[in-house]
Amino acid sequence: MSESAIVSTAITKWVEAGSPTPILMDRLADVVLQALKEAKMKPGDLDAIICNTTAIPFDSPRNITTSAQLIAHRLAEKIGTHGIQCINVCAACASTAIAFAVANAMIKTGSVRKVLVAGTDNSPRGFYLSGQSILDSDLAASGIKAIGITNPTYWAMWARRRAYEMGVDVDDIKKLMALVKVMHSEYGALNPYARYNKVFTVEEVLNSPVVCDPLHLYMISATSSGAGAAVIADMETAKKITDKPVKIVASTVGSPIYGEPVPRIRSLATVGGNKALKPFTEWRLPIMRAYKEAGIKPEDVDIIECHDTSCFHTINWIDQIMGWEREETDKLIAKKQIRHDGELPVNLSGGTSSFGEAVMAQAFVMVHELFRQLRGEAGPRQAKKKLRIGLCAAYGGYGSYGCIILEKGW
Amino acid sequence: MAEKTRRKVPIVDGLFTWSPDGPRLIATRCPACGSIQFPKSNVCNNPECDHSRPVEECLLSPEGILYSYTIHRYSLPEPFSYHKAPYAIGAVELPEGIIVLGRLAFSDEKALRIGMKVRLKVDKLYENGDTTYLTYFFEPVGGGEG
């Protein structure tokens, strides 16, 4: 079985969502050519293109959404190919992370050698109104219509429940979330690709309007628009391209689990009754699988990039990735040990917190950052400690999860 | 328009009953494995079920324990603008062992506590012309902690 490695990455600057410019496919093609150039390849050298689908809305129930879904095929037509494997991956906000899993699996079987993972997204501003088509009457998806559930509803309830289970005041987790925002914003300010460059104070975060308590406005990521690309090759090819290939040591996919006791985003109820599992098993399982695949333990992870659509997510991801007592996570954050000079740097990209979320394309930010960090190319955001292994964790609606573990390949 | 002349319509069909003997949530129970799911479905959702018998519709217990909650301070935009802030949503643990999300009716937000006993009711979500749209709420029951 071949090993696979990332040989190049590129992302655009993340910008405000909800406007038709910059032109979606033009911007994607630009960032793809940039990644191909770094990989010393032409489009004609590729064996496969894997793209995330998008959250682009349509204005009429008569308009079908295939153009928003067939991004790989549109890209293949736009940059030109000789007849290759084109695959589109849809897993909500975890789409790109799962596109990497597909690419990794294809290379490891030896069926392809050079794969482009690329994608872009644009979405409406504000709350994601995950309504239903008039042609889809599934009761399970009726939460927003019947009771007004949005994504932050879940995040807020999870945060309040965590405080309750730990026996602490809900204001304690509020302060911790504000501190996460502050630290992420420090790195957003140092990242030319981040949409937001303002450094926040704890007071500013806590004084911002409440969206749904305990979540304040500045604890929730905005919706953004952006594009990214990465070129992946088998290790033999990768070593001919670069002397610093970044090995994909694991890339796993998660799903909704029967018995998950925590209400999952977009669901109206849990299942499983007395057979219930530990909270957030769904989040943890793909990470555990990734550790097994990589042959490592949580303490081997040197740096994390996690999908922080709210500041609660950063806290919960650290809980799940490290698998330790929740108090340990709180201590790590309170002692500011997730900064570039800390014990366990988290989201030195600035995170979704500083980028806003280009929904299905968001994992490009995380993979790009880990690729640059492991290669020592992150400039002022570069972690001080010696790095060998980085972990990226993404999650999305309906129980979609992806985990990628990267290791220096030289 | 007087309340009694308005037509009462559930905001989504099939989620709840609102008969005079008390509203209930409509779920599905699998006679083969016992798995319960809300909202109702045409198939059992237990991956280990042998699907030897078709699922049956059932009504869930009207009382449960508040697992968590939040109060929304922003109204939703169109087409869901009838969800006007402030409104609360609670996750409620039912005796069936599942947690169900629903609107949380409250008069004093400071009195809301995880662990308190709540009871189902069906009430007005909003009115439009001659129609009153209904949805289900959980409401704190006197007596406090469960």
| Whether A152 and A111 share a structural domain | no
Mean pLDDT to the nearest integer, A5-26: 89
Question: Which of A352 and A57 is assigned the larger pLDDT?
Answer: A352
The residues spanned by each domain of chain B are 3-14+62-145, 24-61
Q: What is the DSSP letter of A279?
A: T
Domain hosting A115: range is 4-127+225-245
Which of A146, A210, A267 lies nearest to residue B15, judging by beta carbons? A146
Q: Is the pLDDT of residue A409 over 90?
A: yes
Band of residue A124 on the pLDDT scale cut at 50, 70, 90: confident
Neighboring chain B residues of A263 at a CB cutoff of 8 Å: 91, 99, 101
By C-alpha distance, the chain B residue nearest A265 is B101
Q: Is B136 on the interface with A (CB under 8 A)?
A: yes
Band of residue B146 on the pLDDT scale cut at 50, 70, 90: very low
Q: Residue A274 has what pLDDT?
A: 63
By C-alpha distance, the chain A residue nearest B73 is A211
ipTM of the complex: 0.94
Q: Which amino acid is at A398?
A: Y
CB contacts < 8 A, A to B, total 128
CATH class of B3-14+62-145: mainly beta
For A232-259, what is each residue's pLDDT tens digit?
Answer: 999 999 999 999 999 999 999 999 999 9
Q: Do B114 and A148 touch (CB under 8 A)?
A: no
Would you call A2 exposed, middle or buried from its count of C-beta atoms within 10 A (0-12, 13-18, 19+)? middle
- Give residue for tokens 């050698």: A113
Q: Do A157 and B69 touch (CB under 8 A)?
A: yes
| Whether A92 and A188 share a structural domain | no
Q: Is the pLDDT of residue A216 over 50?
A: yes
Neighboring chain B residues of A157 at a CB cutoff of 8 Å: 67-70, 89, 91
Beta bridge partners of A120: A227
Please report whether residue A371 resides in a domain. yes
For A340-399, what is each residue's pLDDT tens digit?
Answer: 999 999 999 999 999 999 999 999 999 999 999 999 999 999 999 999 999 999 999 889
Please report whether residue A134 resides in a domain. no
Where would I find the H helices in A39-142? 66-69, 71-79, 95-108
Q: Residue B2 has what pLDDT?
A: 57
| Whether A156 and A41 share a structural domain | no
Which of A139, A156, A164 lies nearest to residue B12, judging by beta carbons? A139
Mean pLDDT to the nearest integer, A32-39: 98
| Whether A255 and A239 share a structural domain | no
User: CB-hemisphere CA count at 13 Å for B102?
Assistant: 35
Å between B48 CA and nearest CA of chain A: 10
Mean pLDDT to the nearest integer, A266-274: 86
| Whether A339 and A236 share a structural domain | no
Domain count, chain A: 2
Å between A139 CA and nearest CA of chain B: 6
pTM of the predicted structure, to 2 decimals: 0.96
| Whether A231 and A356 share a structural domain | no
Band of residue B3 on the pLDDT scale cut at 50, 70, 90: low
Tell me chain A's radius of gyration from C-alpha atoms: 20
| Whether A167 and A239 share a structural domain | no
Q: Residue B94 has what pLDDT?
A: 97
Mean pLDDT check: name the lowest of A92-106, A231-245, A273-287, A377-391. Answer: A273-287
By C-alpha distance, the chain B residue nearest A153 is B70
Mean pLDDT of chain A: 94
Å between B78 CA and nearest CA of chain A: 9
Mean pLDDT of chain B: 93
Mean pLDDT to the nearest integer, B90-97: 96
| Whether A122 and A196 share a structural domain | no
Which of B35, B79, B101 lies nearest to residue A149, judging by beta carbons? B101
| Whether A352 and A294 share a structural domain | yes
Q: Is the pLDDT of residue B145 over 50?
A: no
| Whether A237 and A257 share a structural domain | no
| Whether A177 and A70 share a structural domain | no
Please report whether residue A135 resides in a domain. no
End-to-end CA distance of chain B: give it in Å, rounded: 40
Q: Residue A109 has what pLDDT?
A: 94
Neighboring chain B residues of A164 at a CB cutoff of 8 Å: 68, 114-115
Q: List all residues of chain B from 12 to 51 with a beta carbon under 8 Å from chain A.
A: 12, 14-15, 34-41, 45-47
Which of A245, A280, A297 is a domain's end point?
Answer: A245
Q: How many helices (H) and strands (E) does chain A have?
A: 14, 12
CATH of residue A97's domain is 3.40.47.10
Neighboring chain A residues of B91 at a CB cutoff of 8 Å: 157, 161, 263
By C-alpha distance, the chain A residue nearest B81 is A148
| Whether A115 and A199 share a structural domain | no
